[in-house]
Amino acid sequence: NSFVTRTNTCGELRSAHVGQKVTLYGWVQYQRQGLFLVLRDFQGLTQIIIPQDEAHSHVKELLSSAPVESVVRVTGIVSPRPLGQENPKMPTGDIEVKVETAEILNSCKKLPFEIKDFIKKSEALRMQYRYLDLRSFQLQSNLRLRSRMVMRMREYLCNLHGFVDVETPTLFKRTPGGAKEFLVPSREAGKFYSLPQSPQQFKQLLMVGGLDRYFQVARCYRDEGSRPDRQPEFTQIDIEMSFVDRAGIQRLIEGLLQHSWPEERALIMTPFPSMTYEEALAEYGTDKPDTRFGMKIMDISDVLRGSDIHFVQNALSYPHGSIRAICIPQGVRYLTNKDLESLKESAKSQFNQEIMEIIRRPDGSLKSLLTKFLGEKEQSELIQALNMQEDDVVLLAAGEHKQVCSTLGTLRLLSANLLEAAGLALRDPTAFHFLWVVDFPLFLPKAENPTELESAHHPFTAPHPSDASLLNSDPTKVRSQHYDLVLNGNEVGGGSIRIHSAEQQRFVLEEVLKEDSEVLSHLIEALEFGAPPHGGIALGLDRLISLIVDAPSIRDVIAFPKSFRGRDLMGNAPDYVTPEELEPYHIQVSWPLEEKETKKN
């Protein structure tokens, strides 16, 4: 209560304050028949008793007529609630304030929606009136937890480990590869700035400059269009260190998260487990596995290798062919035929992959189109390999290794959602399972032209020391020194040890990626002036906080987020500007015909 004219907040009064004269400020949460109202501020609720005697009739009239969400000041005496009227659900439930004087500081007009967490509101309406939505308990709680965590992260990095907090520019130039960047026009004809998708180049240049340890709560920008649960502007905890290896970065981040972790959440244990990219793909079908539950992908190629099943033999005849499966526990009991058909349809539509189901009956026998091709010995081996219990359902896929694993990885998550919707507790919502994924490929074939390569992450990632010789001969087999941090099946961080040799950086850009290295000449030149070995990481703050508070969307942990389509519905941005405003930037807008007609009308 320092610096302000209130004596207390609405959430702090207790029985120990009985008899004290207090002044409270807040919003009218609720008012009942001119007898009492509930006053709310950022810290909580207090019950206010409206005086009924003639001497205070003006106070009664004032407070009885105050619309919900009006801002008021009340002064009165803290009193114990009458016996039996205490409210154990409210921290201030043992007391009430008997008003002596009051003032309406600002009356509230009719609200577009009720400000209560349990009232359903469309997201568009919430975004349009975000300043009202921010009054809800849940958003207040989310933003305050976010603030506390960031403060503790600063404390850990700067005070305990000597990091330097540096702000890097947001007006820069285009970076080759990676996500699409927003362009900002300049007054030089034909020249544009670019909003950086991360401070990647600057933090490397800070290492060349000898700062040794850098961090920043960085604003980043990506023009990714309408992607679900993504934001065109987002925040990351950006970190870079000199003379460090992967293990050093991992220890730093584990310590950082332990130090800043909210006390009210389940404890996290370090060190975090680690697995390679190949292991993650083989066992979970994804590079961001949710390890809170089992249902791992099992390789049953050897079990079926001797069978006469045509599609099995066809799949195994290819160089990377395999037969894999997932076992859905109690699938018969919890999944309907419609559920199983929807899983098969997902595999077909998303991956063009056929799925075969196998059910273990209560008598121990198998029900499947495959059983007529399998002898008793093979069926027994299959049950043993998959550890099938009664009423389990197995989904089997045959084909190219990566496609089969990706398909089953997706079905694993879809099955988990269906099981939980049917009442089977599978993933503990209070558990936090962190995981490091390492040894990613350095390059991947381009989707639009598989004969060309692109960086799996970005072009500044160093190759694995054991694979550096393959850069010339077979770059597709080179592993990178990249590492991802995964939490409950979501990527919450990613980083790498960087290339610090100008010669190697130029080779990767020009010879492997076929990029024009001139656009990065400043960075390559900097590497020639005694650049130290260095590496770093960035944690996605929005995603991390949303997982900690179990928010349905990252928009629920950002004060003023953009909509699904990247629009600010409150301020109506982006918006049109006049030709006169565009003139200094040498830009003319070429309107599509239908928009021309709309603007005319």
**What is the average pLDDT score of the chain?**
94
pLDDT (0 to 100) of residue 229: 74
Instruction: Give the pLDDT band of residue 110 (cuts 50, 70, 90).
Output: very high
The tens digit of pLDDT for each residue in 264-322 reads 999 999 999 999 999 999 999 999 999 999 999 999 999 998 888 889 899 999 889 99
CATH number for the region 293-422 comes to 3.30.1360.30
Q: What are the pLDDT digits (tens) for 469-483?
A: 999 999 999 999 999
Q: What is the rounded average pLDDT of the residues 167-192?
A: 90
Closest CA to 176 of 590, 420, 519: 519
Percent of the chain with pLDDT over 70: 98
What are the domain boundaries of the chain? 15-106, 140-275+433-556, 293-422
C-alpha count within 13 angstroms, C-beta hemisphere, residue 351 = 24
**Is residue 99 within 8 Å of 49, Cβ to Cβ?**
yes
Predicted pLDDT at 407: 98
Distance between CA atoms of 352 and 573, rounded to whole angstroms? 40
Note the pLDDT of residue 598.
59
Please tell me the distance from the alpha carbon of residue 12 to that of residue 205, in angstroms, as a whole number: 49
Tell me whether the omega of the peptide bond preceding residue 450 falls within 30 degrees of 0, making it cis: no
Element spanning 470, H or E: helix 470-473
- 489 contact partners, CB below 8 Å, separation of at least 6: 286, 288, 289, 290, 291, 292, 413
Mean pLDDT of 534-563: 96
Indicate the pLDDT class of residue 121, thresholds 50, 70 and 90.
confident
Is the pLDDT score of 597 beyond 70? no
Q: At what angle do helices 246-260 and 137-154 cross, to 10 degrees?
A: 130
552: buried, middle or exposed (CB in 10 Å: 19+, 13-18, 0-12)? exposed
Compute the 3-state secondary structure of the chain and give helix, strand, coil in percent, each to the nearest 5.
Answer: 35, 25, 40
Residues 6 or more apart whose Cβ sits within 8 Å of residue 327: 295, 298, 386, 387, 388, 392, 393, 394
Query: What are the residues whose beta carbons fall under 8 Å from the beta carbon of 462, sequence distance 6 or more?
Result: 480, 481, 496, 497, 498, 499, 500, 504, 535
> Which one is predicted more confidently, 290 or 594?
290
What are the start-end ranges of the E strands in 57-208? Answer: 71-80, 95-106, 164-165, 183-185, 192-194
pLDDT at 454 > cutoff 90? yes
CATH topology of domain 15-106: OB fold (Dihydrolipoamide Acetyltransferase, E2P) (2.40.50)
Q: What is d(CA 203, CA 334) in angstroms, rounded to the nearest whole number? A: 51
The confidence score (pLDDT) of residue 228 equals 65
pLDDT reading at 22 higher than 70: yes
Angle of helix 541-548 relative to helix 137-154, nearest 10 degrees, comes to 120
pLDDT for the residue numbered 594: 62
Residue pair 51/35 in contact (Cβ under 8 Å)? The answer is: no
Which has the minimum average pLDDT: 27-41, 122-136, 302-316, 327-341?
Answer: 302-316
Give Rg (Cα) of the chain: 30
Does domain 140-275+433-556 sit in CATH 3.30.930.10? Answer: yes
Q: Distance between CA 551 and CA 138 in Å, rounded?
A: 9
